[in-house]
Amino acid sequence: MAQRLTRAIAAAAAIVLIAGPSRAGHQQDEPGSPRAQAPLTILQLNDVYSTVPVDGLGGLARVATLKRRLAAAGRTPLLILAGDFLSSSVASSVFKGEQMIAALNAAGLDMATLGNHEFDFGDDLLIQRMRESKWQWVISNVIDTQTDKPIGGAAPYLVRTFGGMKVGFIGLCLDTSAISGLKLTHTRIVPPLDAAAEYIPMLKREGAEVIVAVTHLAFATDRALVERFPEIDVVIGGHEHYPITTTENRTLISKAGSDAKWIARIDLNRVTRADRQTGTTLERFYELIPITNAIPDEPATAAVVNDYESRLGPALDVAIGATRVPLDANSVRLRAGETNIGDVIADAIRGDADISLLNAGGIRGDRTYPAGTLTKRLLIEMLPFGNVVCKVAVPGRVVLAALNHGVSKLPASAGQFPQVSGLTMTVDARRPAGDRVSDVRVAGRPLDPDKTYTVAVPDFVFKGGDGYTMFADQRIVTPPESGELMVTELEKFVTAAREIAPQIDGRIAMLR
């Protein structure tokens, strides 16, 4: 998503925006230029799930090179991560986030706060990973109830001096249903604005001239934060997976996308105003830097990353369960009717939702998997796209519209065909498209067009993929950035069962 500015910047807080690492950007660092005088250069990451490039962009070894280049040029780079990195990914399903800690340690991460995915493996493993990290954690609103202090020994706030400029930091994590209470066995999450109200006065008392909030909050919550606390100068934010650059009143809010495809560079400097009548002002220079192959890998970080990548292959071949019956992933059958693998995956992603619906085209392999051992590699072959599970709350009429859309291309096989869990239906492909589904029952009861149902869907479907536009503007229960990988949910399902033997059970009755 293109960088966007939503408000003019107040005169009291100057900011310069630079499009990218162009020649103009380099000129901003030349001796005597305003940006070159800034005593602090923040490099922002957020929502990083891969240590290696994704679609040619990103890669923590490249990030390490960028930081080292700036340090060699005389800058003071502070690499900050605004949450979400321990999970979710295929590698994290194997290493439980260990590979992220090791790679970020090597890359020289300086500071981080928590995101919702740091809790995916429970709070005890999170604390273990925090102990393995070499950077400073700042977490203002996540409390370990066993110590009544910030989890993992984190600092609730920090004040640091850069070239005579005192900068205060707080760290805020979201407190919504994106984090399952089952994973918080001895953790309490304080509402983020309440924590800000406690610690911002402390920053001021300790002489902080600049206040930086490192947050993993929904954008609307970031806006509410700076509306209530206009003294915050910069929000280094996460949670959304696309770049956002905006000012709210006098506060810069930055989110740098995901997977280190971009780094937001923010240089800060307090300068005396020319008229000397109104004291000092904060200059903020902003640059969104794409992390491409034009930036070489830093060798030490690359060695750590490559070590885990080499270990990942064998780890994927470890057995996680078995199937007593063949699993039918033949594309023609899968995209035109119920199959046992469609049933299994739909069951696996449903969780606590009333219903699940996935597009059959998201299941790959195009073969019948024989009875026997199931490995992580096989599950990834079945679900290779990295889709995550979203949940929406919709009236029954929207469910019916989705089902009718899914079967609208019958008798032809089509990727949009719905594999389902939690409901049964009858399909008459002889009827006009849009009116082919009847006798829909949820948990054995007739679908109520006015009743609200929770529906689990892949993020591809949630975003309108395969023509499923009816989920737009519905109430979101679990957004894409908070969902688990579908393949992770399938792995959990198989692991819990140890052995599966799915049979077609009549969820989709076809009238020919």
Q: Is the pLDDT of residue 20 over 70?
A: no
The predicted structure's pLDDT at residue 374? 96
Q: How confident is the model at residue 7 (pLDDT cuts 50, 70, 90)?
A: very low
| Bridge partners, 45 (sequence order) | 81
CA distance 20 to 408: 46
Angle, helices 98-107/60-72, rounded to nearest 10 degrees: 20
Q: How confident is the model at residue 6 (pLDDT cuts 50, 70, 90)?
A: very low
Mean pLDDT value of segment 385-412: 94
Dihedral sign of CA atoms 29, 33, 39, 45 in order: negative
pLDDT tens for 217-253 read 999 999 999 999 999 999 999 998 889 999 999 999 9
Mean pLDDT value of segment 131-147: 97
Among the ranges given (255-259, 314-318, 354-358), the one the predictor scored with the smallest mean pLDDT: 314-318
Under the phi-then-psi rule, with left for phi > 0, alpha for psi from -120 to 50, and beta for the rest, what region is 185? Answer: alpha
The predicted structure's pLDDT at residue 13? 35
pLDDT tens for 75-128 read 999 999 999 999 877 788 889 999 999 999 999 999 999 998 899 888 999 999
Contact of 160 with 167, CB cutoff 8 Å:
yes
CA distances from 183 to 49, 124, 188 (A): 20, 9, 11
The predicted structure's pLDDT at residue 22? 42
The predicted structure's pLDDT at residue 273? 67
Mean pLDDT value of segment 410-420: 93
The predicted structure's pLDDT at residue 177? 67
Indicate the pairing of strand 508-511 with strand 437-442: unpaired
Contact of 152 with 133, CB cutoff 8 Å:
no
CA distance 128 to 109: 18
Contact of 140 with 172, CB cutoff 8 Å:
yes
Residue type, 354: D
Tell me if residue 187 falls in helix, strand or coil.
strand
Residues 49-72 as b/e (b if ≥16 CB within 10 A, e otherwise) read bbbbbeeebbbbbbbbbbbbebee
CA distances from 57 to 53, 62, 82, 97, 175 (A): 5, 10, 19, 21, 31
The predicted structure's pLDDT at residue 277? 57
Measured in residues, the chain has a length of 512
Q: Is the pLDDT of residue 310 over 90?
A: yes
Q: Is the pLDDT of residue 191 over 50?
A: yes
Q: Is the pLDDT of residue 4 over 80?
A: no
User: What are the structural domains, with CATH classification, of the chain?
Assistant: 13-306 (3.60.21.10), 318-511 (3.90.780.10)
Among 354, 387, 384, which Cα is nearest to 461's? 387
For the chain, give the percent of residues with pLDDT over 90.
76
